[in-house]
Structure 1
């Protein structure tokens, strides 16, 4: 017994030594860059120009409604009016009806271009809610330290921040060594097929590959990553995929006074219940593991021990993450039953029952593996399973060990020295997904500080961006262009 106890003690001591050694080596991955060269932004003038763009109701075509063509035409004319140096120096190419590509030629044609992206279209304001906004949704009003209006955050703030920075760099005489592309889509909110997808296809046909892509995505948030006291700049390195499965059961129909033991609705209900009881496995991958690799060293010692030793503690971490809907979505392909149809009359047996289940697919899974999971979980040949409408595979995971990542991290820290930069998995989709085949360095980041209340304004009521925060975003884009195009 004594030998057994001594052996166990030795194992504990060795294990403790391994855990502590790994924690000691789990050091910060944050850049400590040199101070950026001065870059002055006239915050009020920049805010006024953004406000002018927000007054234009640039809605893409959707659900049988045509696009607001006049608003898009007015916006493109407004951009040309407000940023004359860009239009004197950069090559401008329309893409589709409402999208555009600008090319700022670099001095070294051997270098792969860097692309900065954004989109010009906005989501509609929910009918009947306009009067509930503090300021009208298409006012573009600058008041109380904010620029108010639909698109301030998603995503005209990014587009005009990029334009402001490039116009100012041109005025200062900056000449990029690496070619810089500015790609602004006109239909991101409805899938990006005419804009970003078309542009990516054109570049692919021309044999163009990209050094890096920077699109909308994560922001600078506080209190979101437990254990990290500093604000965290979340940079999306991957996106989840999208698929909806349609489940159909055919029944006998007839009058409800003589029902069979189980109707089509009953069969389908059991299938949905089985699906909800059988979630797809959780994994730390697709950007979620990288989040802890970058944020973990900035935590207290106990948390550092945990995240430095995921080889041992990963099941514990996953159990905690899957306990909340917000974090569960970051570690597994999620299952959401969203639609259910049966008979149109309360006294008629359904001849057909139909349900739709939406899946947001974790990198490492696929549309096909989701369908296989549905069939296995349902395990009923009476339930016919197929995909419905648009599907999208999850994106590849971009590199966090490349020069392109280093320059992005460096740029963030130069403009926002108090923040921790960390990769993460984006749960939604952006236009950048069409460019993942053109670069291994596709990143999704908006250089804005937001609190939890502001996050709810995305696609919601009272969308706004602070005047000072917008000026900082302009500074970031300028510094980023300086760094990637040096």
Structure 2
């Protein structure tokens, strides 16, 4: 019996060590009180619809699309006369728009709100599958339909609607507010956001924080959580694409060598896909898990609260689905494979492009070393274009003042939502502003269902009239919260 007691003590202590943090993880934090803001849903919907009808497809050297962006700027002037009378406006580069709403207290650091004017093109082959034409701006069945409703004119129009409404009430901010609207985000932001950021830096502007698209309020994406989840992203993954080249003697297909250029490159891609970069928990994802824990079943709370013991299990579970796998590792995605010109001719060269989205903490140099080691074939040339590469952002503190203001605003406008930090798995214009702000956050204040995620850059992009009205409410409250004492 004495020996059983001796064995029971460490078991009991281990149980207490596991259960105490689990019980703490089940206690929700206190929340801000809801705020009611009256808006004209129908008028707001028509204003966004008008913006959607202008096809501001991202410009290219061959198709600069100047007329569309000029028309869009003119529409903003017409729809928001108070904003254009009270705010300073600079046109940067060709079509970048930078608004400044001066605050009354010059000692307060400004806040920077971003959105982008451009949208992705629509594939001609997909047109028959659209219920409403991509640039119709139809308001039907409770939705505003068209390219840009979700990405990203919804944010832009909601912000200016909020400014216009506050000016109509006589509101004047204590903190200076900047609104930066690039026009080539979908092609890298090198002319829009990058040039606007350079102007801000030249003027000595340094914001308390910046906010751009990237997070959202989702429901049904995490099956175990019934409540809406408001993901305020505190970091952004990096971006790099490596070109892989294999060379071989060409010739007639009737006399092929043992290994062709295509076969050699295919082997390299197979090796690379079979060797993903290691999974690990970063600060934004750990914070997300901690915030979700009170809403999860006991077994999952136990694993989250005791990551020192269950980290391997957690990572394995998160890696099972593409959406959560992207949160825990640098992802590997072959996107282009190009070789050959005729069915009876052996190609002398085969080319592939593999895109990687870098987890914070992994560098482009790390990924390059991984690619070379995984392929393990000196005959394969590995190279990348530095102009099309971006390191991952540093992690922002979810306990900082910017996050606290955003959290408070979410709780006031979306009282049923759980606020969590997170990680942007794509890329946004916000990365260009790193030198002109203390902290960065990605968040779009609208509810998205699981199927809405497929509509972004896809068919039948739309936003509900109700959710667009909530976006305007959010920005009205946010613009006041950032100036609150």
Give the TM-score normalised by the residue count of structure 1: 0.94
Q: Distance in 2 between matches of 1:360 and 1:217?
A: 15
On the 8 A contact 1:243/1:360 being kept in 2, the answer is yes
> Which deviates the most, 202-211 or 471-480?
202-211
Residue deviations 1:403-423, cap 9 Å, x none? 111110000000010110111
Say whether residues 1:107 and 2:104 are aligned partners.
yes
Structure 1 residue corresponding to 2:130, chosen from 130, 133, 150: 133
State the SS of the aligned residue for 2:192: helix
Q: Distance in 2 between matches of 1:23 and 1:92?
A: 52
State the SS of the aligned residue for 1:242: strand
Q: Distance in 2 between matches of 1:137 and 1:376?
A: 45
On the 8 A contact 2:33/2:411 being kept in 1, the answer is no
> Which deviates the most, 157-166 or 277-286?
277-286
Say whether residues 1:175 and 2:172 are aligned partners.
yes
On the 8 A contact 1:227/1:303 being kept in 2, the answer is no
Say whether residues 1:438 and 2:442 are aligned partners.
no
Q: Distance in 2 between matches of 1:438 and 1:20?
A: 44
Q: Kindly report the root-mean-square deviation, in angstroms, between the aligned alpha carbons of the 2 structures.
A: 2.0
On the 8 A contact 1:30/1:421 being kept in 2, the answer is no
Counterpart of 1:312 in structure 2 is: 309
State the SS of the aligned residue for 1:147: strand
Counterpart of 1:453 in structure 2 is: 451
Q: Distance in 2 between matches of 1:275 and 1:7?
A: 51
Residue deviations 1:139-179, cap 9 Å, x none? 21222222122111111111110011111111111111111
Structure 2 residue corresponding to 1:50, chosen from 48, 51, 75: 48
State the SS of the aligned residue for 1:207: coil
Q: Distance in 2 between matches of 1:208 and 1:29?
A: 38
Counterpart of 1:225 in structure 2 is: 222
Question: Structure 2: where are the runs of 5+ without partners?
Answer: none
Question: Structure 1: where are the runs of 5+ without partners?
Answer: none
Counterpart of 2:24 in structure 1 is: 25
On the 8 A contact 2:239/2:356 being kept in 1, the answer is yes
Q: Distance in 1 between matches of 2:474 and 2:206?
A: 24
Shift of 1:255: 3.8
State the SS of the aligned residue for 1:437: helix
Counterpart of 1:71 in structure 2 is: 68
Structural mapping, 1:88-237, within 5 Å: 88-237=85-234
Structure 1 residues 272 and 455: CA distance shift in structure 2, 3 A: closer
Structure 1 residues 48 and 349: CA distance shift in structure 2, 3 A: closer
Say whether residues 1:464 and 2:452 are aligned partners.
no
Structure 1 residue corresponding to 2:359, chosen from 337, 362, 371: 362
Residue deviations 1:196-250, cap 9 Å, x none? 1111122223332111111112221112234322111112211211111111222
> Which deviates the most, 343-352 or 136-145?
343-352
Structure 1 residues 172 and 28: CA distance shift in structure 2, 3 A: farther
On the 8 A contact 1:114/1:485 being kept in 2, the answer is no
Say whether residues 1:287 and 2:297 are aligned partners.
no
On the 8 A contact 1:398/1:440 being kept in 2, the answer is no
Structure 1 residues 312 and 438: CA distance shift in structure 2, 3 A: farther
Shift of 1:75: 1.1
Structure 1 residues 377 and 114: CA distance shift in structure 2, 3 A: same
Q: Distance in 1 between matches of 2:125 and 2:378?
A: 45
> Which deviates the most, 280-289 or 361-370?
280-289
Structure 1 residues 351 and 144: CA distance shift in structure 2, 3 A: closer
Shift of 1:326: 2.2
State the SS of the aligned residue for 1:78: helix
On the 8 A contact 1:219/1:448 being kept in 2, the answer is yes
Q: Distance in 2 between matches of 1:450 and 1:320?
A: 24
Counterpart of 1:323 in structure 2 is: 320
Residue deviations 1:82-129, cap 9 Å, x none? 111111111001111111010011111111110111111111121143
On the 8 A contact 2:58/2:121 being kept in 1, the answer is no
Q: Distance in 2 between matches of 1:28 and 1:35?
A: 20
Structure 1 residues 198 and 286: CA distance shift in structure 2, 3 A: farther
> Which deviates the most, 168-177 or 286-295?
286-295
> Which deviates the most, 368-377 or 5-14?
5-14
Give the TM-score normalised by the residue count of structure 2: 0.95
Residue deviations 1:396-443, cap 9 Å, x none? 222201111111000000001011011111111111111233334211
Structure 2 residue corresponding to 1:475, chosen from 473, 476, 482: 473
